[in-house]
Amino acid sequence: MANDQLSVHVSSQTLPSMVYQKVRDAILNGVFRPGQMLRQDDVANRLGVSRSPLREALPRLEADGIVVLHPRRGYAVATLDPQQITEVFDLRRLLETELARRAIAKRTEADIAAVYGIASEMGALANRTDDPSLAQWFDLNTRFHKAMLMPADCPHHLRALEHSRTLIEAYIRTETRLTGDLHEAQQEHIQLAQAFVLGDADKFVRLTREHSEHTRSRLLAGLPQVDFDLTDEK
C-alpha cells in the first residue's frame, strides 16, 4: 500500500490516538500481517509521522492483544493457532448469546431502525470484492453486531466481547479476502436482523449462536489458505 494511503494529518493533541487507530486498521485489514515484525521506522514512514506517537500507540495495541512485544526484537503482529482461535470463538459465542438474550428484551424502535439501516448498507456492498468495499463491509459488520447487542446494557460483557472479536478480526478479514464470498455471512445477517426486528427471542438467540459457530467454521476451513509469515525478519 502506498505511503499516502496511510497518511495521518491531525493536530499534535490527537496524533497518538489517530496513529493507534491507523495501525489498528492496517493490522485488521491485512496491511501488516500476523507474525510480521513492526519495524518502527518503517511503520512511522508509512504513516507519515515521527516515531514518538507510534511508541505511544504500540502499548495500547498490545493491550488490545493484536500486537506482542518480543524482548530485544520489538513489536510484532500477534498470531493465533487453530486451538486458540477455537477458544476465542467459544468465549465469543458465550458472550454473544447471553447479550442477545438480554438485548432482544430491551430493544427500542430506535435500535430496530439502526439495525435495519446497517443491514441495508451491508447488502449494497456484499457483491463487491474490491479492498475498499470489503473494508467498509467489515466496519459495518462490527457496527451491525454492536447495534444488536448494545440494548442489553451490559458494558462489561460488551467490553469482553469487543476484545475477543479484535483478537480474531484480522484472520477473518484475510480469509474472506481470499474467498471473496460474503454471501453466506450476509444471508445470516438478514435472518438475524429479521428476528431482531420481529422480537423473536428464541430465534434471535439461536441464530446468534449459529452465526458465531459458522464464522468459526469458515475461518478454520480457510486458514490453511492463509499464507501468514510467522518469522518475518524484514
CA atoms of 41 and 11, how far apart (whole Å): 21
Please check whether residue 73 is in contact with residue 110, taking contact to mean a CB–CB distance below 8 angstroms: no
What is the rounded average pLDDT of the residues 21-45? 89
Q: Is the pLDDT of residue 28 over 90?
A: no
Residue 31: closest CA among 177, 164, 139: 177
Q: Is the pLDDT of residue 9 over 80?
A: no
Q: Is the pLDDT of residue 32 over 80?
A: yes
Q: Is the pLDDT of residue 3 over 70?
A: no
Residue 166: closest CA among 192, 142, 145: 142
What is the rounded average pLDDT of the residues 117-142? 87
What is the model's pLDDT at position 155? Answer: 96
Q: Is the pLDDT of residue 231 over 50?
A: no
Mean pLDDT of the chain: 86
Percent of the chain, pLDDT > 90?
53
What is the model's pLDDT at position 181? Answer: 67
Residue 179 banded pLDDT, cuts 50, 70, 90: low
The per-residue pLDDT for range 48-104, each reduced to its tens digit, is 888 888 999 999 999 988 999 999 899 999 998 999 999 999 999 999 999 999 999
Percent of the chain, pLDDT > 70?
88
Q: Is 74 strand, coil or helix? A: strand
Please tell me which of 26-30, 135-139, 197-201, 223-227 the model is most confident about, judged by mean pLDDT. Answer: 197-201
Residue 135 banded pLDDT, cuts 50, 70, 90: confident
4-8, 70-74, 110-114, 156-160: which has the minimum mean pLDDT?
4-8
The per-residue pLDDT for range 54-70, each reduced to its tens digit, is 999 999 999 988 999 99
